[in-house]
């Protein structure tokens, strides 16, 4: 009996629907739903095709329960750039999963291209896409010291975050500070927006320190994720430790174990004594303005051209050149509002004690004040972490020290 043409056409269509897809699907993707596509029965991709708002820690795998995988190519598009996502096929050929280096990122689009064979040896291909969650808020960490800088042996690596961090363990785990030669280094949180790293003892001269920020897509808090993925380095220079004796009005400068100079100083006067303790030079200015109104002293002073100024605390303690005090004050009396003054000239002189010390100093050098009669500087006031014991410092880590 003859088969009607219409019925024959129907059989041809049905035959096409039950065959394994070729490498390049003949039918357009819009002609059928994902689950109805021939390769979908053989090749299973999680997350599903066109999935949206996928979490970065979601399960991502390609499976062929009744066949073997030949090739899995995953392309990530993020921040306008593309890169292949690393993954590995299991020895049995049934499953592909991303490696540790191939974790998903947020605000990204992923294209998955798979080629596999069924148990009969027929090849099939499948293409799927999905997008990951786009966070509304991002956090970044502003760090010190500057990349590629040369610093003193007392340098503390300090990060300030633009948003409060509640998932401190996750953030701390994503930041690594390492050194060559190796040193024992630990982290300490000073509240929700500041994380510092320091070694047990001062860095050895010549040490190269690396700060690796692997914060991209790390959850810092509810709806807040990191955006940085970078590594920076700095080098530790010679050792220079300066000890200010406020009672004797002197500062002894010791470099690499040898006394370089003992300079006459003037420290904080009555009622405004200079902090005791170890402080670290965090900034240097050839000239700067010092206004008492910015640090709680009202209109007591406003000097627009303070020369050779080096910051010791965030609250406003500087070691600087002083041209306005009478010459006899240096080495005999404390007259300042808490800063440490060295004799200088207006405009600054490289041959003055202040000019010499400024040129001899690095950001990261330690200045220790003794016998001032004031309390010890708080460890979070500038880079004051050296005033904590190693046990106290390690206790401030979110990872249990």
Domain-wise residue ranges, the chain: 22-132, 137-237, 240-380
The CATH number of the domain covering residues in 137-237: 2.60.40.3710
Domain with residues 22-132, CATH architecture: Sandwich (2.60)
pLDDT, residue 368, reads 98
pLDDT, residue 15, reads 35
Q: Which of 188, 308, 337, 339 is catalytic?
A: 339
pLDDT at 11 over 70: no
pLDDT, residue 3, reads 40
Name the token pair of 379: 């460890």
Percentage, residues of the chain above pLDDT 90: 73
pLDDT at 153 over 70: yes
In the structure, what pLDDT confidence band is assigned to residue 2 with cuts at 50, 70 and 90? Answer: very low
Mean pLDDT of 249-277: 96
- Alpha-carbon torsion, ordered 316, 322, 327, 330, to 10 deg: 40
- Burial class of residue 263 (count of CB atoms within 10 Å of its CB; 0-12, 13-18, 19+): buried
pLDDT, residue 12, reads 34
Q: Assess whether the region 22-132 and the region 137-237 belong to the same CATH fold.
A: yes
CB 108 within 8 A of CB 80: no
Backbone angles phi, psi at 157, to 5 degrees: -80, 120
pLDDT at 398 over 60: yes
Mean pLDDT of 277-301: 77
Mean pLDDT of 324-341: 92
Show Cβ contacts of residue 265 under 8 Å, excluding neighbours closer than 6 positions. 244, 249, 250, 251, 330, 331, 340, 341, 342
pLDDT, residue 271, reads 87
From its phi and psi, is residue 76 left (phi > 0), alpha (psi between -120 and 50) or beta?
beta
133/359 Cα distance (integer angstroms)? 51
Domain spanning 240-380: CATH 3.20.20.70: no
Q: Which residue has the higher pLDDT, 189 or 227?
A: 189
Note if 122 is an active site residue: no
- Burial class of residue 140 (count of CB atoms within 10 Å of its CB; 0-12, 13-18, 19+): middle
Nearest CA among 106, 113, 128, 1 for reference residue 54: 106
90/96 Cα distance (integer angstroms)? 6
Mean pLDDT of 135-154: 94
Name the token pair of 214: 């692997």
pLDDT in tens, 235-262: 999 999 999 999 999 999 999 999 999 9
CB 227 within 8 A of CB 138: yes
Note if 320 is an active site residue: yes
pTM of the predicted model as reported, rounded to 2 decimal places: 0.75
Mean pLDDT (the chain, rounded): 87
Least confident segment among 1-15, 204-218, 301-315: 1-15
Name the token pair of 293: 């109104």
Name the token pair of 179: 């050194």
pLDDT at 126 over 90: yes
pLDDT, residue 29, reads 33
pLDDT at 322 over 50: yes
Q: Which of 137, 320, 337, 371 is catalytic?
A: 320
């Amino acid at each position: 009996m003859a088969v009607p043409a219409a019925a024959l056409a129907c059989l041809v269509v049905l035959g096409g629907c039950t065959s394994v897809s070729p490498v390049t699907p003949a039918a357009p993707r819009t002609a059928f739903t994902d689950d109805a596509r021939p390769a979908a029965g053989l090749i299973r991709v999680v997350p599903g095709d066109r999935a949206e708002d996928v979490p970065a820690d979601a399960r991502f795998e390609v499976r062929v329960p009744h066949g073997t995988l030949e090739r899995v190519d995953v392309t990530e598009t993020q921040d306008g750039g593309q890169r292949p996502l690393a993954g590995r096929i299991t020895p049995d050929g049934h499953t592909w999963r991303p490696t540790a280096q191939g974790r998903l990122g947020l605000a990204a689009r992923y294209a998955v291209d798979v080629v596999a064979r069924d148990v009969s040896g027929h090849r099939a291909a499948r293409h799927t896409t999905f997008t990951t969650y786009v966070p509304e808020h991002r956090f970044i960490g502003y760090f010190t010291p500057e990349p590629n800088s040369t610093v003193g042996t007392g340098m503390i690596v300090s990060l300030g975050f633009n948003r409060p961090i509640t998932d401190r363990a996750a953030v701390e785990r994503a930041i690594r500070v390492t050194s060559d030669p190796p040193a024992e280094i630990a982290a300490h949180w000073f509240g929700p927006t500041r994380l510092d790293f320091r070694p047990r003892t001062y860095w050895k001269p010549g040490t190269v320190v690396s700060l690796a920020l692997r914060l991209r897509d790390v959850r810092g808090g509810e709806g807040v994720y990191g955006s940085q993925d970078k590594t920076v380095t700095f080098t530790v220079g010679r050792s220079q430790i300066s000890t200010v004796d406020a009672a004797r009005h002197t500062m002894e400068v010791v470099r690499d174990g040898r006394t370089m100079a003992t300079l006459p100083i003037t420290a904080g006067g009555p009622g405004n004594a200079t902090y005791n303790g170890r402080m670290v030079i965090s900034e240097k200015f050839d000239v700067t303005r010092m206004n008492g109104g910015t640090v709680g002293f009202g209109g007591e002073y406003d000097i627009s051209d303070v020369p050779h100024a080096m910051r010791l605390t965030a609250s406003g303690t500087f070691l600087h050149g002083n041209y306005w005090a009478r010459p006899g004050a240096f080495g005999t009396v404390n007259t300042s509002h808490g800063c440490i003054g060295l004799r200088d000239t207006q405009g600054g002189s490289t041959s003055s004690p202040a000019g010499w010390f400024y040129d001899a100093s690095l950001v990261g050098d330690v200045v220790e004040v003794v016998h001032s009669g004031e309390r010890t500087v708080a460890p979070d006031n500038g880079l004051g972490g050296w005033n904590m014991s190693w046990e106290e410092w390690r206790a401030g880590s979110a990872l249990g020290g």
